[in-house]
A = this chain, B = another copy of it.
Amino acid sequence: MPVSTFVLPASLALQLVSGAAPAAKPASSPASVKPAATAKATPVYSQAVAEKLIGPALTEGHAYARLAELTDGIGPRLSGSEGAAAAVQWAMRGFKADGVKAWTEPVKVPRWVRGEERGEVLATERTRAHPLSLIALGGSAPTAPEGLTAEVVEVTSLEQLAALGDSVKGKIVFFNHTMSVPADYGRFAGLRGRGPAAAVKAGAAGVLVRSLATASLRTPHTGSTRFEPNGPKLPAAAVATEDAELLHRLLANGPVRVKMVLGCSELPEVESHNVIAEVKGREKPQEIVLISAHLDSWDVGTGAHDDGAGVAMVMEAARLIAKLPQAPRRTVRVVLFMNEEHGLHGARAYAEAHAAELPRHVAAMEMDAGGFKPVAVSLRAGAGGQDLVRPWLPPLVALGAANFSAREAGGADLSPMAPARVPFFGVEVDSSRYFDYHHTMADTLDKVDPQDLARSTAAVAWMTYAMAEMPTTLARPEAPATPPGAPAPAATQPKATGH
């Protein structure tokens, strides 16, 4: 999921973390829909359609079964891997079985492959050696086969690293931080995304980053790190929060040396694919409501929350919409992006290939914050968006999502469409436990609650239909000052680092 989702004021973060359903606010809240009042008014939508979308999503368990197929049947699917290729075929079979027309579009993706990885804190006169629980970051260079052994220097920011100047030459830079709640992800993801590149410029020999985690049982969290194209790289790994705290304690007592062995490698780019599917609109087929998720995952765990759940939601939304007696007014297009996690190449390929069509993309969403319960609807559009959407919210009351989020809709894979001023919408989920599992071997099917997934799927199906059916469309937002998906100098663009 994108960092930007988690850059928000602490007050809002608390609202998210508390898990309190915003729909339970007093009815006087302007952002909430009042069930009693709206239930008696004549709805602007067909109640029968709401039932045909939300009913099956809540009762058939189809999204969860599909998620089980993807995670148990295919497992991890890092872009460029056999798993990713298998996932493309699986998605194509799924759409076919659902009677939804689908095709693939080519995407060149990097192929980074994990190898042996281990590390230890070397013994000193006072302390015995400790194994480190670590995981290479995507894009890391390997160490020499015998490993890298060096002294550790702890820093807590890129600024602090810069201030150290030459003194980190030949050392292992250890980026420590204080992440404790999901809202901290945005604050600290830059240490993972840009820290290694900064360290290699300073002459460091390697990097360890504290995992971006809200829970840990010695669980290291991987993720992408970015070096300059064709520039120097270094071995970079995340350590579990426990190991970060151990390093911090040991460093308080004297010098610490670490040995790390990383056997990862960067293979040549391979051709992969976005998977695209469509339910043609009945009146304005040229207008496109895009719903998306990313098909790739990290190579540890099975990407159940990130982003198998999103894939299951949007595929199921398309299946249910395709089964309606009458297609919605506009075309619903599903995009399962490839390579969100490690380059965003699928998102860029889509925006390029469909550049001429983007003015006709009237709304776009990406579900990429886990398979949790829905808590709100989000928008990023021009003036009047909430007024347009509000009459369509009553079917979300019992799902706990019939209110507007204070956060803008978005998604890493949507960012290349932002310059074309495509309006974004979203179903916000309760991601308070997302960073317990995010980018770890523990992101597995058992972490997804079938009820929560069903409820979010229902909300996605309904909001997709609403966007495709409402008489008018969202006003287009202002173009962003800097396209969020475009490469930008590291110092000025923290939001693009942490997919």
Q: Which residues from B are CB-within-8-Å of A375?
A: none
Residue pair B126, A73 in contact (C-beta under 8 Å): yes
A442 interface neighbour in B127, B128, B218, Cβ under 8 Å: B218
Taken together as a complex, chains A and B put the C-alpha atoms of A310 and B184 apart, in Å, by 35
Q: How distant is A475 from chain B, measured CB to nearest CB, in Å? A: 44
Q: How distant is A254 from chain B, measured CB to nearest CB, in Å? A: 12
Q: Which residues from B are CB-within-8-Å of A72?
A: 127, 130, 246, 249-250
Cβ-based interface call for A133 (8 A): yes
Q: Which residues from B are CB-within-8-Å of A130?
A: 72, 75, 302
Taken together as a complex, chains A and B put the C-alpha atoms of A442 and B444 apart, in Å, by 19
- Count of A residues near B, CB < 8 Å? 35
The A229-272 residues at the B interface (CB cut-off 8 A) are 241-242, 245-246, 249-250
The residue of chain B having its C-beta at the shortest distance from the C-beta of A215 within the complex is: B217
Residue pair B218, A440 in contact (C-beta under 8 Å): yes
Q: How distant is A193 from chain B, measured CB to nearest CB, in Å? A: 23
Taken together as a complex, chains A and B put the C-alpha atoms of A127 and B70 apart, in Å, by 9
Residue pair B250, A217 in contact (C-beta under 8 Å): no
Q: Which residues from B are CB-within-8-Å of A86?
A: 128
The A418-433 residues at the B interface (CB cut-off 8 A) are none
The residue of chain B having its C-beta at the shortest distance from the C-beta of A129 within the complex is: B75
Residue pair B73, A216 in contact (C-beta under 8 Å): no
Residue pair A245, B73 in contact (C-beta under 8 Å): no
Q: Which residues from B are CB-within-8-Å of A82?
A: 128
Q: Which residues from B are CB-within-8-Å of A436?
A: 217
Taken together as a complex, chains A and B put the C-alpha atoms of A74 and B245 apart, in Å, by 16
Taken together as a complex, chains A and B put the C-alpha atoms of A241 and B219 apart, in Å, by 15
Q: A128-B86, A249-B68 are in contact. Are A442 and B216 (CB under 8 A)?
A: yes
Q: A218-B219, A219-B218 are in contact. Are A246 and B444 (CB under 8 A)?
A: yes
Residue pair B446, A245 in contact (C-beta under 8 Å): yes
Residue pair B242, A128 in contact (C-beta under 8 Å): no
Cβ-based interface call for A83 (8 A): yes
Q: Which residues from B are CB-within-8-Å of A83?
A: 128
Q: How distant is A433 from chain B, measured CB to nearest CB, in Å? A: 11
Cβ-based interface call for A490 (8 A): no
Cβ-based interface call for A95 (8 A): no
Cβ-based interface call for A188 (8 A): no
A128 interface neighbour in B75, B133, B215, B440, Cβ under 8 Å: B75
Q: Which residues from B are CB-within-8-Å of A219?
A: 217-219, 442
A446 interface neighbour in B129, B242, B250, Cβ under 8 Å: B242
Residue pair A217, B133 in contact (C-beta under 8 Å): no
The residue of chain B having its C-beta at the shortest distance from the C-beta of A86 within the complex is: B128
Taken together as a complex, chains A and B put the C-alpha atoms of A216 and B74 apart, in Å, by 22
Q: Which residues from B are CB-within-8-Å of A73?
A: 126-128
Q: How distant is A273 from chain B, measured CB to nearest CB, in Å? A: 18
5 residue pairs from A and B, CB less than 8 Å apart: A75-B130, A217-B440, A219-B442, A242-B444, A245-B445
Q: Which residues from chain A sit less than 8 Å from chain B, CB to CB?
A: 68, 72-75, 82-83, 86, 126-130, 133, 215-219, 241-242, 245-246, 249-250, 301-302, 436-437, 440-442, 444-446
A-B contacts besides A217-B217, A218-B219, 6 pairs, CB < 8 Å: A130-B302, A133-B441, A217-B442, A218-B440, A241-B446, A246-B445
- The 5 A-B residue pairs whose C-beta atoms are closest, nearest first, are A217-B442, A217-B219, A217-B217, A218-B441, A218-B442
